[in-house]
Amino acid sequence: GRISKIFNSQPIQHALSVGLVKTIAHMGTIAATSTTTVAATTMAKTAVIATACGIGTVAYGVGKIALGTTRKAWSLIVSSEE
């Protein structure tokens, strides 16, 4: 739909990629204090590597460990892939 077209434009893709990597790094820091450190850190590293393959892979991977207020934002990114 309309959101898909917006998210698929190059400048937006780039902005999302940069933003996701920064967010992932931040989430990785938070995860280090939790009981799911290994799983979350592994997921984050996988997501960073996946950035080269496209925003969809990153959004789906990170969406699984996104918590609290970030969930709505991730949902928006993930739903834009439909």
Enumerate the domain spans of the chain: 2-79
Q: What's the chain look like in SS3?
A: CHHHHHHHCHHHHHHHHHHHHHHHHHHHHHHCCCCCHHHHHHHHHHHHHHHHHCHHHHHHHHHCCCCCCHHHHHHHHHHCCC
Q: What percent of the chain has pLDDT over 90?
A: 0
The mean of the pLDDT values for the chain is 52
Reported as a pLDDT band with limits 50, 70 and 90, residue 35 is: very low
Enter the pTM of the model: 0.23
